[in-house]
Structure 1
Amino acid sequence: MAASGPNGGPAPPSSSSFFRTMVSTFRTIKYEHLVAGVSGGVVSTLILHPLDLLKIRFAVDDGKSIEKHRPQYSSLRHAFRSIFQQEGVRGLYKGVTPNVAGAGTAWGFYFLFYNSIKTELQEGNSKTQLSPGLHMMAAAQAGALTLAMTNPIWVVKTRLCLQYGGDELAQAKDPSKTYKGMVDALYKIGKYEGIRGLYKGFVPGLWGVSHGAIQFMAYEEMKSSYNIFNQHPIDHKLGTLEYLFFAALSKLFAAVTTYPYQVVRARLQDQHSEYKGAVDCVQKILRIEGGWGLYKGLRPNLLRVVPATAITFTVYEKTSQYMLG
């Protein structure tokens, strides 16, 4: 009989058994989770990409915009109007290709790895209740694996979102940082900056693994508690509105508690800024902009990620439910 954890579930695997757990995890993979996750990520990203672009532009604003030929925005409405007037509708969708590719890939692999690890921890019994700590551990492992595979795509998305309309002449002075699209950006970053360039922001991205871990833990706990309250099995399928509500609430909680890492990651990936690393970036933000500097772009981020996650999780749950029967 398997050992029990503090909340009656399986005990967390020791570090010596981690490799065996990961190997056996891939034996339980169901690719329906990959397809369902990709579907959710693509749909939500296509709908809400303009808000992601605004979040990135606010996040990298360090108060030195004039020196860097970077436009300044006083509010979300002003930013939206300025981009639309200067760059048109296409300006609001700069970086959408790598964003769709990144979101689809990231959500697909995240759900794939998470469900595989979760199934392994449950020893194949979907009715086994896992502790919050095990949910967080499964999500953290899935997040680290996903980030290692998708970080170059996020670097490209950030770079493309930070190409400003009317700034072509300034950018032409350094053609290595002017990109025609996703493939061109991948090629130039790899050629001129190497692997280090493609993995800029990876360290704060690892901090962000805690974001996904907190989000999935909250989501799973709310679903389980709701089913227990209604005297249903913990793997009972919920309605669309219930999935929307629990996904949105879990994302709001995770976003507010872990947002600063996104500011740091965006600034490290910004082709217009130079930092020695994540620690240097945090120190400069705190010294020049104060604590609120770590929360720049939070408003457009919440306006985007809460409905985006609600859409993603609902599409995922319904698609996987259909495919898995």
Structure 2
Amino acid sequence: MSDNVAHALAGAGGGIISMAITYPLITVSSRLQAQRNNTSESAYKGNLDAVKKIIAGEGIQGLFSGLESALFGSAVTNGVYYYFFEATKSAFEKASKVAAMTTGQSMTAGAIAGAMTVLITNPIWVVNTRLTVKKLEAEEEDAIGNASDSKTKSITTWQAFAKIIKEDGVLSLWQGVIPALILVINPIIQYTVFEQIKNRLQSTRKLGNLDFFFLGAVSKLVATVVTYPYIVVKTRMQLRQSKNESERYNSLLDGLKKILAQEGVQGLFKGISSKVVQSVITAAFLFMTKEALFSYTIRLLAILKGRKARLQ
């Protein structure tokens, strides 16, 4: 079994661990990104205010809305990404017979892995986004007199999945896929920065878990700040689209224009502080745990392969 599978399994494990640690920050960031009405009494005024209102209205569990789908999505996303990234990386290294990729090769590998990940996992994140901001959507519909009691009932991931298909059709599971594909630039930036700094440091000394922790943090910080406006548009496009044309985003460009017109430049950066903190911590733990899990995964696969050979 190739190392690509080991990288995928280690990435999936690292994704689950890092997602579980930082999920409340994702909830806060997602709700701030999705919030359009900033003037109502229930509107979130900032990160701390959002935390207080979520706990007051939904309890601690409100900070973990959609966690089940997020853990599954994180495992699949990181597993798919690492598999295709490492497969492309191996192809480049074999072709050029050089141990380290160039900046251009790192970006190409990131683009291929990112595009495959988006196309495969977008339905998972549509479901997760809707579960995470479900109460916020109900409150905003209530403000315009269209609320339904059913919108605030607790539902499982699979119930949400079935509900989306029934009400909006199968293709709605790929809402926001265009900005998500454009956001492939995020992991491209992240992994290019990571690989290039790692290669330079490895030429001078052996890297440890703490090195990978800080490399993951720095690379994700750069990527998140650069791409954040697209993250906001993607989040809103993954929600159930309003029948009101002024609130409906027909494309990425349309979404950017409407947010700027209705909310100003600050609308494109709603929730950025909690998102940056979450993204940096998640990436730091992901890179650190993934590298640690990789060696154990290699050993486990070798043991399983040995047992399989003995049974044949």
Normalising TM by the smaller chain, what interval?
0.7 to 0.9
In the other structure, the counterpart of 2:221 is: 252
Note if contact 2:14-2:287 (Cα within 8 Å) is conserved in structure 1.
yes
Q: Following the alignment from structure 2 to structure 1, what is the Cα–Cα distance between the partners of residues 47 and 148?
A: 30
Equivalence for 1:62 = 36
Cα deviation 1:296-319 (Å, max 9, x = unaligned): 111010111101100011111111
- TM-score normalised over the length of structure 1: 0.82
1:90 equivalent to 2:64? Answer no
Asked if 1:225 is matched to 2:196, the reply is no
Q: What corresponds to 2:176 in structure 1?
A: 201
* 1:140 aligned onto 2:78: no
2:208 corresponds to which of 219, 222, 239: 239
Larger displacement relative to structure 2 (294-303 or 274-283):
274-283
Distance (Å, rounded) in 1 between the aligned partners of 2:163 and 2:51: 29
Aligned residue in 2 for 1:32:
6
Which of 121, 124, 140 matches 1:150? 121
Q: Which moved more, 1:136-145 or 1:190-199?
A: 190-199
1:44 pairs with 12, 15, 18, which one?
Answer: 18
- The answer to whether structure 1 residue 72 and structure 2 residue 43 are counterparts is yes
Alpha-carbon distance change, 198 to 178 in structure 1, aligned in 2, over 3 angstroms: farther
Q: Which residue of 2 aligns with 1:313?
A: 287
Q: What's 2:148 paired with?
A: 173
The answer as to whether partners of 1:151 and 1:202 remain within 8 angstroms in 2 is yes
Give the letter aligned to residue 201 of structure 1.
G
Residue aligning to 1:261: 230
Amino acid at match of 1:222: I
Task: Measure how far apart 1:324 and its partner are.
Answer: 2.8
Aligned match of 2:297: 323
User: Aligned in 2, Cα 1:161/1:176: closer, same or farther, shift over 3 Å?
Assistant: closer
The structure that is helix-richer by fraction is 2
Q: Pick which of 169-178 and 270-279 moved more.
A: 169-178
Deviation at 1:177, TM superposition (A): 9.3
Matched, 1:182 2:157: yes
Greater shift after overlay, 29-38 or 109-118?
29-38
User: How many correspondences in the alignment?
Assistant: 290
Instruction: Say which of 262, 265, 269 aligns to 1:288.
Output: 262
Aligned mates of 1:130, 1:151 — CA distance in 2 = 28
Deviation at 1:193, TM superposition (A): 1.3
Which segments of structure 1 move beyond 4 Å, counting only runs of 4 or more?
124-127, 165-172, 174-179
CA distance in 1, matches of 2:216, 2:181: 22
Give CA-to-partner distance per residue, 1:268-303, whole Å, 9 cap, x none.
Answer: 112364322222111101112222221111101011
Aligned partner of 2:82 in structure 1 is: 111
Gaps of 5+ in 2: 243-247, 300-312
The farther-off stretch of 191-200 and 97-106 is: 191-200
Encode CA deviations 1:55-106: one digit per residue, 9 max, x unaligned.
011111223664xxx9311221111111111100111110111111111110
8 Å CA contact 2:135, 2:152 repeated in 1: no
